[in-house]
Homo-oligomer: A and B are copies of this chain.
């Protein structure tokens, strides 16, 4: 652990048995609420990915919007949203993926990326990697490329990295 990770972990609220019994949920809202911790989180992510060539930040609804938009602003990049089913207004590409029980669908505008434009995919949490993998497939479906992934928290025991192939993955805190 380094000092940044210690500092940020001090702002995570552990919530037992959420969303269901036996799960320890890592709540980032105290981190977001503390202006200097939020800035540290965004600045540190920007530093970690500073050697990656990419054109756009792609944020995954909803907490990925918070981290991704601030990071895009910081790095002077455009921001592209990946949203839940039925939330985007224009022509879109959908990707269904498996959850523990059932499935979920995420969507991206069909013209969001093109011609091999490179995306940095951003979300708050890397857990099983299912959502991130589906997001990467969406990016490729519309004609883009995945330059890397950035997450605030990685639940290392769930081994989400194994879902994401050889992609570059940066995370700020590991549990």
Contacts and interface: CB of A to CB of B under 8 A. Distances in A.
Nearest to A83: B62
Copies of this protein in the assembly total 2
Contacts of A68: 66
A59 interface: yes
Contacts of A34: 78
Interface stretch (A2-10, A24-32, A159-167): A24-32
A169 interface: no
Interface residues of A, number: 42
Given A32-B80, A33-B56, A65-B65, A72 B72 contact: no
A42 interface: yes
Given A65-B69, A66-B81, A89-B15, A39 B76 contact: yes
Interface string A33-49: 11110110010000000
A87 B62 contact: yes
A85 B61 CA distance: 15
Indicate the member of A73, A76, A78 with the most B CB atoms within 10 Å.
Answer: A73
5 contacts: A25-B89, A32-B80, A33-B56, A35-B78, A70-B72
Interface of A: 13, 15, 18-19, 25, 27, 29, 32-36, 38-39, 42, 56, 59, 61-63, 65-70, 72-74, 76-81, 83, 87-90, 109, 112
